[in-house]
Chain A
Amino acid sequence: MKRLLIGAFAALLTVGATATLAGQSEDLQALRDYMQNRFPNLAFMDYANGSYALDAAKATQWESQRDFPPFLDHLDEGEKIWNTPFTNGKGFSDCFGSDPSKVRVKYPRWNAEAKKVETLEGQIVACQKANGEKPLKTKKGKIAYLSAWLASQANGQKINVIVPQNDPGAVAAYEAGRKFFYTKRGQLNMSCADCHVYNSGMQARGNLLSPVIGQVTHFPVWRGKWARATGGKDGFGTLQRRYDGCNKQVRAKPFKNQGDEYSNLEYFHQSMSNGLTIDAPDYRE
């Protein structure tokens, strides 16, 4: 009987441990401690370089690619889109404010009235709709040029996604995103964390898996893979486009772009890079 009770108590403890809602700052600390243990020689700021921070040979290749950024014309187009007035005479600055360097760092954030997470791309589309414009598609193309240009204007500033702990809706959205990140899914039965936490730094089918910390500092990203699919013309994609790719890898059905699942995930995911410097856009394989 005694042994049974101890067993039951231990079971309760473990259930408690996984179900406990740790809160954003505790999550961040635990994750940083875990990564610090895993990569004792990696400086915090270097997490922004993703898998290249962990592989000197690839980093050299990457540096030489960065000397000739393939996306400069696309950034110019992004700036043009920002400056082009809507047919009603208004423009993006009426939605986002007149200083483009202050836009990227506001997102993702909780909208207490609408009770949902707002992302930069989601708000670009919302701004267009509110002004009677045809909304852009949210994964790639023009929205990525605009978002990348806005991100480039914020270079040097730090990611700082704060979840208001006194707003239960915001906390619930963050918790949903956190749960998404740690949930195994798809035919391969793997979570984001299986690759980008527990196996970060290891090889998976010829790719070095990047740690979750630092994964968002350079988005929208220009990927060689995406560029090749368009004959080299356009390698840009948003963060949620990347989510699609990783879900497909584990053979899970991708979720709706800018839907609640991905936007909550983005809320959690971006906040795990708090304190890192925006350096966007950037090249990735």
Chain B
Amino acid sequence: MNRLMKRLTPGIALVLLIGNLAGIGTAGASGDEAAYKMAHADAVAALDMAKKVGGEWRDARWKKSKAVKVEVEGKTKKMSNLAAAEAYAKMGDYEKATQYADIAKFQGVAGYQQAMDQKNAGPQF
């Protein structure tokens, strides 16, 4: 592993970990449509906030994202987390749909927070 990746990996791992926790944390409790709908609305609201400050992440809801593989009518399709949520909801799997909506929401919240943290970004030399 090179020096750059070594320096970055702990940060990335943390982000991924939190991402996963956000997904798993609420999954069990939400096999129903109403919970999914709330999670979806929350995700959209969070992503809209991130968008306003230019902080959206690639795999949250970008239509060209290939982050998540979903089996749709016997075919594997690649899509964003929010699109995966919608695809699972369409198939009636509200538990998985809610999981992916929660990940999208987390990414919206984190992207917004990141942009806020970077308000005074400039050269460090």
Measuring CB to CB, which residues of chain A are less than 8 angstroms from any residue of chain B? 15, 18-20, 22, 27, 30-31, 34, 178-179, 182-191, 193, 195, 197-199, 202-205, 209, 247-248, 251-255, 261
Contact = CB atoms under 8 A, between A and B. Distances in A.
A197 B58 contact: no
Interface stretch (B2-10, B25-33, B35-43): B2-10
Interface string B29-61: 000000000000000000000000011111110
Contacts of A20: 122
B4 A204 contact: yes
Which residue among A30, A183, A191, A261 has the maximum number of chain B CB atoms within 10 Å of its CB?
Answer: A183
B118 A183 contact: yes
A203 B58 contact: no
B72 interface: no
Interface of chain B: mostly helix, strand, loop or mixed: helix
B15 to A, nearest CB: 6
Interface string B94-122: 00000000000001000100110110111
A30 B58 contact: no
B74 interface: no
A199 B114 contact: no
Given A184-B118, A185-B115, A30 B123 contact: yes
Contacts of B118: 183-185
Given A252-B57, A255-B54, A204 B121 contact: no
Contact of A18 (B3, B114, B117, B122): B122
